């Protein structure tokens, strides 16, 4: 089991408590981690138990990542856990990550297709997150960033056409979309049969906010989303229509089963439909991931396409001509930007503040000759002089 943990914001003790109780294979933090110490120091007790800890960056995290945290950061990286290929969103490596074959995408930001609000900053990576999910052939994208007080029904699974997305809003989820509980200041709280699921609570709220007319504008305007249901519903609870909405404090458990103990319908037809969708999405996600585990993707090296080196690493990770990240790594002594400019078409991230450095040959166009052949041959000869041997 993998725990996907909503933005910790420095509240770590409940996460460690959850790992003690649930004993997952790995814990993945969804950004806005705001850790006071490094990941190895913060999660020492669970790392010693063999539980892996990974994280993606959020908008509240420091831009400079400590070297001790680098092996645990999966921005622009691929990890394999329990037979699943999981990739982390990173704006610097967006094109490369879109070329990967993934099962699950992890991003701090939600993808396009969920409560989209034009010009609002917390959606500034939404299009890229959705594009990565689509192009990488992932079946699911897990994200954080959305808090319950900012808009209604942000928790659970929703369809973005190309995949299923899981909004972890203030909750812990496993890879199949099951709610594992909440990790808040009071501690880890597992769900029970009387659990008031957030989707029911949020549906009775109005949501108002201020936003700029555009990203560059200094003018703000007021916008609002009306609540889906009213909390003072009727005495009978009939299915809703255009003229009537009722809520009646409807409860569902963490399996999205609706409370019918009082022999009444409890909630509108729309709410029942939403709960049924959530149950169906969970079954679908579990089946899709099970299929992916049985049909493992094995990347095939198709010639040199580029190199990537993450901050703190001495080794360069090799990319093939399709920009697939391979398992091959090489060390090149005294290799700087001036030397790289002689061979590569695209060069980014050689400065000290960069999270990673990438050197890419431009992708070979269909039905055209590979114009980079001479550059690649020259680079191969350069490596051979340094006793580094690779295949084209």
Per the domain annotation, does 63 fall within a domain?
yes
Q: How confident is the model at residue 115 (pLDDT cuts 50, 70, 90)?
A: low
Instruction: Please check whether residue 319 is in contact with residue 372, taking contact to mean a CB–CB distance below 8 angstroms.
Output: no
Range of the domain at 35: 2-191
Instruction: Please check whether residue 147 is in contact with residue 110, taking contact to mean a CB–CB distance below 8 angstroms.
Output: no
Per the domain annotation, does 152 fall within a domain?
yes
Per the domain annotation, does 299 fall within a domain?
no
**94-108, 270-284, 374-388: range with lowest mean pLDDT:** 270-284
Tell me the three state secondary structure of residue 4: strand
Each residue's pLDDT tens digit, 341-371: 999 989 998 887 788 999 999 865 544 555 6
Is the domain of 29 the same as that of 62?
yes
Tell me the three state secondary structure of residue 269: helix
Tell me the three state secondary structure of residue 194: coil
Is the domain of 216 the same as that of 314?
no
Is the domain of 176 the same as that of 311?
no
Is the domain of 81 the same as that of 213?
no
Q: How far apart are CA 123 and CA 212, in angstroms?
A: 13
The domain total for the chain is 3
Per the domain annotation, does 287 fall within a domain?
no
pLDDT of residue 123: 53
Of 211, 210, 223, 229, give the one whose Cα is nearest residue 153. 229
Is the domain of 231 the same as that of 310?
no
Q: How far apart are CA 336 and CA 195, in angstroms?
A: 57
Q: Which residue carries 């005294």 as its tokens?
A: 334
Q: With 70 as the cut, is the pLDDT of residue 36 above it?
A: yes
Region 293-315 average pLDDT: 86
DSSP states along 78-98 = EEEETTEEEEE--STTHHHHH
Strand ranges for the chain from DSSP E: 2-5, 26-29, 52-55, 78-81, 84-88, 104-107, 140-143, 155-159, 164-168, 172-173, 179-184, 187-189, 207-212, 220-225, 304-310, 316-320, 325-330, 346-348, 356-360
pLDDT of residue 182: 84
Share the mean pLDDT of the chain. 78
Per the domain annotation, does 100 fall within a domain?
yes
Residue with the larger pLDDT of the pair 21 and 217:
21
Each residue's pLDDT tens digit, 134-187: 999 999 999 988 775 444 445 678 777 778 888 887 789 999 998 898 887 778
Contacts of residue 339, defined as CB under 8 A and 6 or more positions apart, other chains included, come to: 382
Is the domain of 165 the same as that of 221?
no
Is the overall model pTM greater than 0.75, yes or no? yes
Region 268-297 average pLDDT: 82
Instruction: Please check whether residue 48 is in contact with residue 29, taking contact to mean a CB–CB distance below 8 angstroms.
Output: no
Q: For a pLDDT cut of 90, what percent of the chain falls above it?
A: 40
Q: How far apart are CA 47 and CA 186, in angstroms?
A: 23
Q: With 50 as the cut, is the pLDDT of residue 274 above it?
A: yes
Q: How far is CA 212 from the centre of its chain?
A: 26
Residue with the larger pLDDT of the pair 165 and 4:
4
pLDDT of residue 196: 47
Is the domain of 175 the same as that of 57?
yes
Per the domain annotation, does 95 fall within a domain?
yes
Is the domain of 204 the same as that of 186?
no
Q: Which two tokens stand for residue 161?
A: 């056409």
> What distances in angstroms separate CA 50 from CA 20, 30, 41, 153, 213, one per listed residue?
11, 20, 15, 35, 49
Each residue's pLDDT tens digit, 223-234: 554 444 434 444
Is the domain of 179 the same as that of 207?
no
Q: Which residues pair with 27 in a beta bridge?
A: 3, 53
Q: How far apart are CA 240 and CA 234, in angstroms?
A: 11
Of 179, 182, 228, 177, give the one whose Cα is nearest residue 202. 228
Residue with the larger pLDDT of the pair 210 and 78:
78
Q: Which of 144, 170, 191 is the last residue of a domain?
A: 191
Q: Which two tokens stand for residue 162?
A: 């190309």
Per the domain annotation, does 298 fall within a domain?
no
What b/e readout covers 127-158, taking b as 16+ CB neighbours within 10 angstroms? ebbbbbbbbbebbbbbbbbbebeebbbbbbbb
């Amino acid at each position: 089991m993998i725990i996907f943990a909503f933005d910790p914001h420095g509240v770590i003790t409940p996460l460690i408590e959850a790992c003690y109780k649930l004993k997952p294979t790995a814990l993945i933090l969804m950004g806005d981690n705001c850790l006071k110490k490094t990941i190895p120091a913060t999660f020492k007790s669970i790392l010693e138990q063999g539980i892996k800890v990974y994280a993606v960056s959020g908008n509240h995290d420091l831009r400079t990542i400590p070297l001790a945290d680098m092996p645990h950061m999966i921005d622009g990286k691929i990890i394999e856990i329990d037979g699943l290929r999981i990739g982390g969103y990173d704006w610097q490596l967006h094109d490369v990550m879109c070329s990967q074959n993934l099962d699950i995408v992890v991003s701090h930001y939600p993808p396009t297709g969920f409560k989209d609000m034009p010009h609002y900053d917390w959606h500034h990576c939404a299009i890229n997150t959705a594009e990565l999910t689509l192009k990488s052939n992932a079946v699911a994208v897990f994200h954080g960033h959305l808090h319950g007080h900012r808009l209604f029904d942000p928790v659970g699974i929703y369809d973005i056409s190309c995949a299923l997305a899981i909004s972890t809003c203030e909750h812990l989820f496993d890879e199949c979309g099951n709610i594992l509980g909440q990790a808040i200041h009071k501690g880890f709280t597992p769900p029970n049969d009387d659990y008031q699921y957030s989707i029911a609570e949020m549906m009775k709220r109005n949501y108002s906010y201020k936003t700029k007319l555009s990203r560059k504008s200094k003018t703000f305007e007021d916008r609002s989303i009306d609540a889906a249901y009213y909390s003072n519903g009727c005495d009978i609870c009939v299915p809703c229509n255009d003229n009537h909405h009722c809520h009646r404090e409807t409860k569902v458990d963490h399996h999205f089963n609706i409370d019918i103990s009082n022999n009444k319908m409890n909630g509108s037809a729309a709410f029942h439909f939403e709960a049924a969708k959530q149950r169906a999405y969970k079954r679908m996600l579990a089946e899709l991931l099970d299929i992916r585990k049985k049909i493992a993707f094995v990347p095939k090296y198709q010639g040199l396409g580029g190199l990537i080196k993450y901050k703190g690493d001495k080794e360069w990770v090799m990319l093939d001509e399709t920009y697939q990240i391979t398992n091959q790594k090489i060390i090149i002594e005294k290799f700087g930007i001036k030397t790289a400019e002689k061979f590569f078409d695209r060069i980014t991230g050689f400065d000290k503040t960069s999270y990673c450095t990438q050197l890419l040959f431009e992708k070979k166009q269909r039905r055209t000759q590979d114009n980079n052949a001479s550059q690649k041959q020259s680079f191969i000869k350069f490596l051979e002089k340094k006793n580094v041997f690779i295949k084209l």
